[in-house]
Amino acid sequence: MKNYPVVLISTVVAPLSLLAVVTFVSKGSLFGTAIEGGLIMNFFSSGIALSSDLSHLKNDFKLQDMVVSSPTSSRLYMSGMALAEIVYSIPSLVILFVLLAVYVRPSLTQTAVIFVVLLLMFTMAGALGFMLSTISTDVVQSFAFTRLLSLLFTTLPPVYYPITYIPKKFQYFAYLSPTTYAAEITHQATGYLVIPNSLLLADWIILVGVSVIILVIAIKNTRWREI
């Protein structure tokens, strides 16, 4: 961030630009949901960014080869790099969390719900990013994966606005993305969306289930050592 400030600007602008667009189009009525959407996008994008960053370190600097030959485990390496992605996103996260506290004013319970959802999003995306980085042969390929997955999971689904704004016949497609369930939970928790308790429970089950499945698939399919 110090050497290349333009990258920092890009990180901050990405979630805030969509927040601004949704807010302007809705004339301010969706500002609260847009803030929550920005947080979901930020945590998912931070996790999936592991794909390009780790691919760069693996293929260009051969860092993974050195880590493999050391006592460091793949889990410790992934955890450390994931923490670095969160640190990298701190500027935009600070802005979004301040906006959340000032505008949405979540209670302790609501804050806990949002925190758990964001943690699940980051874990899911981080597992995907790490798996893709170990099978990618070029950083350009990883950048393509990162952009594609960020678009499919955070831009197209109803993350910045309630799903009720999507026509009924298209809502089925929105539910193909796990971020839809994450957004639905946070929107319901903060009062921007009213859904039955049965549907809310289903959202939690699906979100947790998908996160666990992706994590297990990532662990089983990650190529940590080259054969």
Contact 121, 47 (CB under 8 A): yes
User: pLDDT 10s digit of each residue in the chain, 227 long?
Assistant: 677 677 777 777 878 888 999 999 999 999 999 999 999 999 998 888 888 777 777 766 677 677 777 887 777 877 888 888 888 888 889 999 999 999 999 999 999 999 999 999 999 998 888 888 777 777 777 778 788 888 889 888 999 999 999 998 899 999 999 999 999 999 999 999 999 999 999 999 999 999 999 888 877 766 655 53
11 in a structural domain: yes
171 in a structural domain: yes
Count of structural domains within the chain: 1
Q: What is the pTM of this model?
A: 0.87
CA separation for the pair 16, 102 (Å, rounded)? 16
Residue 227: the pLDDT is 39
Residue 225: the pLDDT is 58
Q: Which two tokens stand for residue 48?
A: 């999936």
Looking at residue 104, what DSSP letter applies? I
130 in a structural domain: yes
226 in a structural domain: no
227 in a structural domain: no
Range of the domain at 74: 5-221
What sign does the dihedral 121-157-18-53 (CA atoms) show? positive
Dump pLDDT digits (tens) for 106-127: 999 999 999 999 999 999 998 8
Residues 6+ apart with CB under 8 A from 158: 165, 166, 174, 180, 183
80 in a structural domain: yes
